[in-house]
Amino acid sequence: MTLRILAAVMAASVALPLASARATDLEVTHWWTSGGEAAAVAELAKAFDATGNKWIDGAIAGSGGTARPIMVSRITGGDPMGATQFNHGRQAEELVQAGLMRDLSDVAEKEKWKDIIRPASLLDSCTIDGKIYCAPVNIHSWQWLWLSADAFKKAGVGMPKNWNEFVAAAPALEKAGIVPLALGGQAWQSAGLFDVLLISLGGKDLYEKVYAQKDADAISGPEMAAVFKAADDARRMSKGTNVQDWNQATNMVITGKAGGQVMGDWAQGEFALAGKKAGTDYACLPGLGVNEYITTGGDAFYFPLLKDEAKSKAQAALASTLLNPATQVAFNLKKGSLPVRGDVDLAAANDCMKKGLDILAKGNVLKSTDELMSADIQKQKEDLFAEFFSSSMSAADAQKRFAKIIASAD
Partner 1 sequence: MTGQTIARRPNQLFRNLNAKIASIPMILTAVVIFLGGTLWTVVYSFTNSKLLPRLSFVGFDQYERLWAATRWTVSITNLAIYGVLTLIFSLVIGFVLAALMDQKIRFENTFRTIFLYPFALSFIVTGLVWQWVLNPEFGIQSVVRSLGWTSFTFDPLYNADIVIYGILIAGLWQGTGLVMCLMLAGLRGIDGEIWKAARVDGIPTWKTYLFIVIPMMRAVFVTTLVIIASGIVRVYDLVVAQTSGGPGIASEVPAKYVYDYMFQAQNLGQGFAASTMMLVTVAIIIVPWAYLEFGGKKRG
Binding residues for partner 1 (CB under 8 A): 65, 68-69, 72-73, 76, 91, 93-95, 98, 185-187, 190, 242, 244, 374-376, 378-380, 383, 386-391, 401, 408
Q: To the nearest whole angstrom, how small is the minimum distance from the Cβ of residue 33 to partner 1?
A: 16
C-beta of 172: minimal distance to partner 1 in Å?
23
CB 227 within 8 A of CB 201: yes
Residue 92's region, left for phi above 0, alpha for psi from -120 to 50, else beta, is: alpha
Q: Give the dihedral sign, CA 175/190/40/110.
A: positive
Smaller CB separation from partner 1, 131 or 401: 401
Amino acid (one-letter) located at 124: D
Q: Which is nearer to partner 1, 30 or 257 (CB)?
A: 257
- Residue nearer to partner 1 on the CB measure, 51 or 248: 248
Q: What's the min distance (Å) between Cβ of 64 and partner 1?
A: 9
**For partner 1, the closer CB: 68 or 311:** 68
Q: For residues 308 and 13, is the Cβ–Cβ distance under 8 A?
A: no
In terms of C-beta distances under 8 Å and separation of at least 24 residues, what long-range contacts does 253-257 make, across chains too?
A: 253/146, 253/147, 253/148, 253/151, 253/182, 253/282, 254/148, 254/282, 255/150, 256/148, 256/150, 256/151, 256/154, 256/178, 257/151, 257/178, 257/179, 257/182
Q: In the bound complex, what is the minimum distance in angstroms from residue 25's beta carbon to partner 1? A: 27
Cβ proximity to partner 1, 84 vs 380, nearer residue: 380
The size of the chain, in residues, is 410
Q: What is the CA radius of gyration of the chain?
A: 22
Residue nearer to partner 1 on the CB measure, 73 or 394: 73
CA triple 369-107-337, angle to 5 deg: 40
Residue 244 contacts residue 185 (beta carbons within 8 Å): yes
Tell me the closest approach of the beta carbon of residue 178 to partner 1, in angstroms: 15
Given the complex with partner 1, which of 24 and 186 has the nearer CB atom? 186
For residue 119, cis peptide bond before it (omega within 30 degrees of 0)? yes
Query: For partner 1, which is the closer residue by CB, 71 or 151?
Result: 71
* Shortest Cβ 205–partner 1 spacing (Å): 29
CA atoms within 13 A on the CB side of 388: 31
Q: How does DSSP assign 134-165, residue by residue?
A: EEE--BB---EEEEEHHHHHHHT-PPPSSHHH
C-alpha to C-alpha distance for 121 and 33, rounded to whole angstroms: 27
Query: Closest distance between partner 1 and the C-beta of residue 101, in Å?
Result: 12
Q: How far is the CB of 273 from partner 1 (least distance, A)?
A: 22
